[in-house]
Structure 1
Amino acid sequence: MVSALSKAFGQLSDPASRRVIWLTLTLSAGLLMLVWALAAWGLSAGAAGLQSWLGVEGFWAGLLEWLVGLGGFVALLFASAILFPGVAAGIISGLFIDKVCQAVEARHYPDLPPAREQPFGEAVGDGLKLLTVTVGLNLLLLPLYLIAAPLAPFVFFGVNGYLFGREYFEMIAVRRTASNQVRDLRQQNGGKVFFAGLVIALLMWIPIFNIIVPLVAAAFMLHVFEGLRRKSVGASVPSPA
Structure 2
Amino acid sequence: MIAPILAALNQLPDPKFRMVLLKAVAMTLGVLIVLYTVVGYLVSGIDPFSLPWIGMVDPAGLLAGLAVGAMMLASVFLMIPVASLCIGFLLDDIAEAVEQKHYAHLPAATPPGLLTTIVDTVRFFVILVVANIAALAIYLLVAPLAPFIFYLVNGYLLGREYFQLVALRRLPPREASALRKSNRGRIWVIGVAMAVPLSIPVLNLIVPLIGVAAYTHLFHRLRGNVSTQAGFNTQAR
After TM superposition, the runs of 4+ consecutive aligned structure 1 residues lying more than 4 A away are 56-60, 64-67
Distance 1:28 1:237 in 2: 33
Taking structure 1 as reference, are residues 10 and 57 closer, same or farther at Cα in structure 2, changes over 3 Å only? farther
Contact 2:124 2:161 in 1 (8 A): yes
Q: 2:31 touches 2:82 (CA, 8 Å); kept in 1?
A: no
1:8 equivalent in structure 2: 8
**Structure 1: stretches of 5+ with no match in the other structure:** 231-235
Name the structure 2 match of 1:119: 113
Residue 108 of structure 1 corresponds to: 102
Q: Which has the higher helix share?
A: 1
Aligned partners of 2:91 and 2:212 also within 8 Å? yes
Equivalent AA in structure 2 for residue 183 of structure 1: S
Is residue 213 of structure 2 the alignment partner of residue 213 of structure 1? Answer: no
Inter-CA distance 60–108: structure 2 relative to 1 (3 Å threshold): same
Distance in 2 between residues matched to 1:41 and 1:29, nearest whole Å:
18
Alpha-carbon distance between aligned partners in 1 of 2:53 and 2:167, rounded to the nearest angstrom: 61
Aligned residue identity for 1:15: P
Picking from 81, 88, 91, the partner of 1:86 is 81
Residues 147-186 of structure 1: pairs in structure 2 closer than 5 A = 147-186=141-180
Q: 1:207 Cα deviation (Å)?
A: 0.8
Residue 138 of structure 1: CA displacement? 0.8
In structure 2, what is the Cα distance between the partners aligned to 1:151 and 1:170?
29
What is the root-mean-square deviation of aligned Cα atoms in Å? 2.3
Deviation at 1:224, TM superposition (A): 1.1
Cα pair distance change 1:2/1:239, threshold 3 Å: farther
Among all aligned residue pairs of Structure 1 and Structure 2, give the percentage whose two residues are the same amino acid. 32
Q: Tell me what 1:61 maps to.
A: 57
Q: What is the match of residue 202 of structure 1? A: 196
Cα 1:146–1:57, aligned 2, differ >3 Å: closer, same or farther? farther
Task: Label 1:56 to 1:110 Cα distance change in 2 as closer, same or farther (>3 A).
Answer: farther
TM superposition score normalised by structure 1 = 0.85
- Listed as ranges, the gaps of 5+ residues in structure 2 are 231-237
Deviation per CA, 1:14-56: give whole Å up to 9, x if none. Answer: 111222222222222221111111112223334x4xx53x736
Q: Distance in 2 between matches of 1:7 and 1:239?
A: 12
Q: CA deviation at 1:212?
A: 2.6
Using the TM superposition, give the Cα deviation of residue 173 of structure 1 relative to its aligned residue in structure 2, in angstroms: 0.3
CA distance in 1, matches of 2:119, 2:53: 50
Tell me the TM-score normalised to structure 2 length: 0.87
